[in-house]
Structure 1
């Protein structure tokens, strides 16, 4: 498919690689591409289905980061089956339109990079919040996500090999409203 080897890309990326709009539409009709949103495409079968929306969002905004329930599932801290991928962008960044399977979240730019880890999927770099950051976000947004989700994730994380409450609390210091609630939950579980 020309010079585009990444699994997800925008129409602008295709044009920059010398692939015209007509060629893209031919590939769509043949089933060699799948449209995820307006002007955003993926190569089918290249990515784990749970990461397709994240890859497509990353093609639009490099800062797109898997978060909340989707990140908990990714880290095996929840058995939920999310209908859409939870994706965070720094507050003030416009959320892309037309993504049917994305739930957009706006996180404070001051703390956005904390716990943000890059992973390579099919030759493309995507970001996923670490297990520790995701637990903190679950506690931080407990009013929206539910307290049972946060507590279950914390319990599962504590059972994991090599996980240290001190590391979690150190990361939580950057989120002062969450740290006391998290400390109380840890004390109750330990």
Structure 2
């Protein structure tokens, strides 16, 4: 029974397609060679950075799963906050997978869902998605009533101190979110 033929994150259906029976999957689980992260979704032990394990498992179930908000700010090193769980966005209307511990699900508008969405290689060719620094800052301002305004201002301040950051690129992303645009302009005027 070879677990190396499976993707770093896989579903029970993926395991069956690779020739493993359900009892063999449970034997791998008992042996500690795989970990269960949600209902019928597993990751191979030691192949994925623990910071991205929940995102990898969510992506195995929903291709659109995207790292967002505080988790994406931490990924871009724009906050000192350590998220309690992983913030994952799905397009509004998609059902959130069941059985995930320490995941906060967010539903974003399908019309703007792909704005600023980037992929990165997490392990063994596993492609995961996260929002860009600019999109994450916009979302932090847009959802400041949930996340707190300090998070957004700290992220913006750190981002502006980086070489190559361009307020014009931030405003270009913010233009797709008309309610957040005035707050971001005001924050840029105060910080620049």
TM category, shorter? over 0.9
The aligned residue for residue 156 of structure 2 is 154
* Superposition pairs of residues 124-163 of structure 1, within 5 angstroms: 124-163=126-165
Ranges in structure 1 where 5+ consecutive residues have no aligned partner: none
Determine if the alignment matches structure 1 residue 118 to structure 2 residue 119: yes
TM-score by length of structure 1 reads: 0.97
The aligned residue for residue 83 of structure 1 is 84
Alpha-carbon offset, residue 4 of structure 1: 3.3
Report if the CA contact (8 A) 1:2-1:17 is conserved: no
Alpha-carbon offset, residue 85 of structure 1: 0.2
Report if the CA contact (8 A) 2:3-2:44 is conserved: no
Ranges in structure 2 where 5+ consecutive residues have no aligned partner: none
What is the alpha-carbon distance in structure 2 between the residues aligned to residue 161 and residue 49 of structure 1?
29
Report if the CA contact (8 A) 2:36-2:42 is conserved: yes
Aligned residues: 190
The aligned residue for residue 187 of structure 1 is 189
Deviations 1:65-84 (A, max 9, x none): 00000000000000111111
What is the alpha-carbon distance in structure 1 between the residues aligned to residue 3 and residue 99 of structure 2?
26
TM-score by length of structure 2 reads: 0.96
Alpha-carbon offset, residue 5 of structure 1: 3.6
Give the 4+ runs in structure 1 shifted more than 3 A.
2-5
